Amino acid sequence: MTGKTPKIGEKVTKKAAVRPASGEPPLLSGGNPQIPKGYGDAPVQAYIAAMPGWKSDIGRRLDALITRTVPNVYKAIKWNSPFYGIEGEGWFLGVHCFTKYVKLAFFRGTSLHPLPPGESKQKEVRYLDIREEDPFDEAQIAAWVEQASRLPGERM
C-alpha cells in the first residue's frame, strides 16, 4: 500500500509500539517510551524509568541536573517526551530517546553560549545528542540549562 491513498473503508495498518512483557510502557520506534501526556514530576519520572538501558541513567542525571539548576522548573510529558520550563513562561528544553542517543532540544538554543552543537531546521532550536560512550559534561549542560531557563519559553 506504500505510496497509495487508502480507499474509504480500507483498513490501514500502523506500526505498533512494542509493549515489553513486564507490563512497562511500550517503546515507540527508536526506543522512546510511550508515556501519556501529563504535567508535574510523576509522568517525567515514569518516562525516565521506562527509558531503555543506559538511557535511563542519562535521564536520571539530566533530570537531577535540571532540577538542581532551575529549582522552580515545571515538568510535563508532551508528545511522548519530557519537557522542562517555567510555569506561565513556556518550555525551554525537551528530551527524546532515539535508538543510539538521547536528544536534548534547547528551544531557544541559538541564544546559548557556546552554541549547542546540533543544528535544527527550526530557526532557534539547537540540539545536544548524548550517546552511551560520550562523556557527560555536567558543567556545560548545566550552563546551557541555566541560560535557557532565563530566555522566553516556547509556548506549546
Q: What is the pLDDT of residues 116-136, one digit of tens each?
A: 999 999 999 999 999 999 999
| Residue 145 belongs to some domain of the structure | yes
Domain that holds residue 87: 29-149
| Residue 68 belongs to some domain of the structure | yes
Q: Using the predicted structure, report yes or no on whether residue 99 has a pLDDT greater than 60.
A: yes
| Residue 10 belongs to some domain of the structure | no
| Residue 6 belongs to some domain of the structure | no
Q: How many domains does the chain have?
A: 1
| Residue 24 belongs to some domain of the structure | no
**Phi and psi dihedrals of 147, rounded to 5?**
-60, -45
Question: Per-residue pLDDT tens for 46-96?
Answer: 999 999 999 999 999 999 999 999 999 999 999 999 999 999 999 999 999
| Residue 63 belongs to some domain of the structure | yes
| pLDDT, averaged across the chain | 87
CATH number of the domain encompassing residue 105: 3.90.1150.200
Full-model pTM: 0.83
| Residue 120 belongs to some domain of the structure | yes
DSSP secondary structure of 102-145? EEEEETTGGGSSSPPSB--SSTT-EEEEEETTS---HHHHHHHH
Cα separations in angstroms, 28 against 23, 79, 87, 112: 15, 12, 28, 31
Q: Please report the pLDDT score of residue 29 as a whole number.
A: 74
| Residue 155 belongs to some domain of the structure | no
Q: What is the mean pLDDT of residues 97-125?
A: 96
